[in-house]
Structure formats: C-alpha cells, structure tokens
Structure 1
Amino acid sequence: MGKSISVGILFSLILSSTFAQEVSPYGKFQQDSVMIGEEIQYSLSVRYPKEWKVIFPDSTHDFAPFEFYEKQYFPSRTDSTHVFDSAVYRLSTFEIDLVQQLQLPVYLLNGNDSTIIRSNTDSVLFKELVVQVPDSLKFRENLSFQVVDYAFNYPYFMLGLGIFIVLAIGSFLVFGKSIRDKIKLYRMRKAYEKFSLQFERGIIKIKQSETNTALIEEQLVIWKKYMEKIEDRPFTKYTSKEILQMGFEQELKEVLQNIDMSIYGAIDSEEMHKNFEALEDFTLVRYQTKVKEVKNG
C-alpha cells in the first residue's frame, strides 16, 4: 500500500514538472512602485499547446497582499501549435511593507482534475507618503491677549443629554424593529437594482458573443456574489453541485450544467444568454421571497 502511494506521488511530481516545462506563466506589474490604496495593474500571460485547456484565476482567488478590483481578459491568439492567452488585473494594496510580491497560478484542466502551474514572482515597491518625521517640534510663543469663553454649563448639558437618551431609547423600543426593517428593505432594494442593471448589461454582451468563456465566467461570479448577500451563504466558494444541494436542483440544475460545460468543457452554445436569463428570473424570485420574509418578520 505504502509503495503504491509513493509511486503515485512520484508520478504526480513528474507530470507537474512536464507541464511546467511546456507552460511557463509570466506575471509582471505595470509600474515599479505604488502608494497605499492606489490602483496598480498586473499582467499575466501564458503560452501553451493548442490541445490543452488553461484557466486564469478569477475574483475568488486570494491576491494577498493585494485587493482585487477587476480582471480584463484578452482574446486568445493561436498559431499552428500553440495558444497565447493574457489578462490584466486591477489591484490595490493597503499593506505598508516596503517590497510587496505577487505570484499567480494558472490551472491546467485534466478531465475532472486540474494541475496548478505558478508564474514567476514579481515585486513592486511601496511608496511612503511621509519620508521623515522630525525628532522634535518647535513651538512659537504668543503672548497677545486672547478672549476666553465663559465656563460651560455642564448641569444643563447633562440634563438635556439624559432627556435625549431616554427619548431615544423609548423610540427605539417602540419603533426599533419597524425602522430596522425599513432600512433593511431599502438596502435590499438598492442592492438588487444595482445587481439587475449590471447583470442585464452582461447578458447583452453574451448575446453578442455566446462562446466567450471569459464573459460567461465573469457573469457567473456577479450572480454568485449577489446570491451571497441575500442568502447569507458563501456562494462564491461553492461549486455548482454544492449550490444544487442547497435545495435549488429543480430550478438550476440544467442552467448551471450548461454554464459549467461552456466554461470548463469548452462546449459552445449559441443560446448561452438564455441560461443567464433563467438565472435572472430565479434571482428575482429569491429576492421577492426574502422581502416577504423581512416584512412578515
């Protein structure tokens, strides 16, 4: 048994080494330095044999010490034997390390499994806003006459503050739940309107390019992020199978299977936008259900 495991591990190492020789992802920052909170662009490119399937990391990947904003994917370029893919990531950092590094992987699909191949490590310098702080401060004397305000009437202030606190607590006890529900419903409505507008734009783009896997993957992430908010579950970390196991198999099984086949199986569909229209209808029903739950308390 132990010998079989050792042989399996050795085979995996040899296979990974072989892939690494054929696929060498290259990552690079588009500038040499960055300030805290400033946006910076990072490019990732890879060249690989035409018969292979390679996927770039998306918004669910951990970009630490950087924060992810957006991914821009470029159309593949091919020759007789190889494919060249590239993407640009918009990032920012709130860390203060003087040198900050990033290394991103690409995923080589092997049937139901995948092999991780990492790019080179690139660095960017953190630009400090305050370079030097003086050891001591010099104060300037001012002996001119200054008007001083009268003493503050603390007893009246404390009395008024006490009355205000009592009224606030009383109002909260009487109207608190109603106020909280209205605030929650308002936030839910604004979040859904924002999602609906963004999702509708994505469907229009997919109608224009039904086989663009980058667009399809980006649209699926937008849907998962919104579902996280209304269902309070980590949809962005769930696979399609795990989502269906939450009780949505009847509504979503065929839709999610079609989308997965397009992203991971490279199976084109001339009516891919209809799957996202079905997701849009499903999301509206879930939003309306959550609104009723809040109103009925």
Structure 2
Amino acid sequence: MRKYILSFILWLVLLLPVLGQELAKPVGWFSRKSIKLGELVQYTLVHRHESSREVILPDSSFNFSPFELVQKSYFPTYTKAGISTDSAIYTLRTFETDSLQQLALPVYVLDGEDTLQVLANPVSVKLQQLVPQVQEPLVFKSETELVFVEERFNWPNLLLWTVAGVVFLSLIWFIFGQAIKTKYKLYRLRKDHVYFTSRYNSHVDRFVKSGYGQSLEKAVSLWKNYLTKLERSAINSFTTKEIVMFYNDNEEVNTALRLCDRAIYGNMAEADPETGKALHMLRRFAKSRYKHQHDLTRNAKTKR
C-alpha cells in the first residue's frame, strides 16, 4: 500500500510543472463590427507567451475561410520580463452571403519535436445586406437609349505617327537629300532662265521694231540683273570695263556692251543692225553662262 502511495505522489510531482505551463490563448479581433460584401477588413492576432517558447503565426498558406487573405503584416517579437508578444494584422475580405461571418485563428507552438495548435476565441463580423429582399421572379429593367460618348483625341497615337514621320523623312533626307537639293537648284536655274529669256526677247523685239531707247536700256539692265543672280556676284553694279574683266576679257561681251553703250548714250533715234546684233550676242552669252552653271550644279555631287 505504501508503495502505491509513493508512486502516486511521484506522479503528481512530475505533473505539477506541466500543469503550471498551460499555454495561454491568443487574442483576435476585427477592426469593424460590420462589413459589406467584398469590402476589406482587418483582423488583428496577438499572442503573449514565455520567451523560451517558439511560436509561429498563420501565413498565406492558411485557410482563412469564410474569408480570403488580401494582405498580411507581421511585427517583431517584443519581450519584457520573460514574456514575449507576437502579433500580426491580416487584411481580409469575404464574398460569402451569410449574415454573420466568424473566424478563429490559431498559433502554433513548437515543443520539441511536437507542434501544438492553440486557437483564439471565435470573433464575428456582421455582413451588411444591401438588398434586404429579392423579388421573385426577378424583373429586368431595360435601357435602350444610346448614351452620347464624347470623342477623345488620341494624343499618344498622334505622337507615335509624328515621331515615325520625322524618322522616315530624316531617313529619306539622309539618303536622297543631296539629290533633292540638286534637283531643286536645277529647277530654279531653268525657271529663272526661261523667265529671263521671255522678258529679254520682249524688250529686244520692241527695240528692233520701234527703235525705242528705253527698251534697249531695259534689255541691258535685265541682262546684268540675271547674270548677277546667276553668278552670285554684283555684276549689275559693275561698269562695262569691270564686267569685261570679270569674264576674263571676253571679246563677245566687250563688243556687245560697247555697242549697247554707244546706242544708249548716243541717243540713237532708231535701231541699227549692229545694236540688234549686240543684243543677240548678250543673249547667247547669257545662255552659255546658264549652261555652265547648270553643268556645275548637276555634277556637284559627283565632285564631292
């Protein structure tokens, strides 16, 4: 009998420390008492325990039914006087239609090779019913009127096409720019020469037919202005001697200009054959200078 009493006392002594180490429950609560369907709500879980124990809080793999986990936030363990506090905030939402949604989260305590699960007391949140009563059968409301939608300008598309256009034109200019400039210069040369020839012939015809001195002056002045633009030199401000020197004592230019000067400053009353011949010489010389400039412009790319 004494043997059994001693065995009972020994078992009781070994059990007392275990009973004194009963695990405390975690505490959990919702941030609001009521929510709407799909609305976010926060659930806070706090567990205080001995600092010697290792505790794990639920992570994203845990089933939060009837809620869905949206986000979780853990806080560092805080220890004071041998008591540690672990806490976390879970952002949840629910799409269940039950009027009362309940949740009780556990904590996991590591005890050697075993893991103990300790549940918090269940807490509830009320679901706000936005449609208190559903009419049966359901009545569908139709809206057949068209709604005016303001047209919006597609600025990104415009910017894209503008950049593409600039890149394309830049590429074209890089490849064909020199050829385009040459073509344009040749076009301007031809146009200016046609304009000069037309007006010059008009003045010459008027002078030959009527002997009108001003027509002769206008023809010579037009010739000088045309060569000024063609040669890119101030020929219209040169004297006859300077013009002849500019063209390397060209005999044709020298003869034609002196005959024209004699007719202009001699106040001839009528056109003489020599003056008419001089005007034709000036026209022929202008045409030769046009051809020279035309060839230089056309062959400019090849020379580069």
What TM-score comes out, normalization by structure 2 length?
Answer: 0.46
TM-score between the two structures when normalised by the length of structure 1: 0.47
The structure having more radius of gyration, on CA atoms, is 2
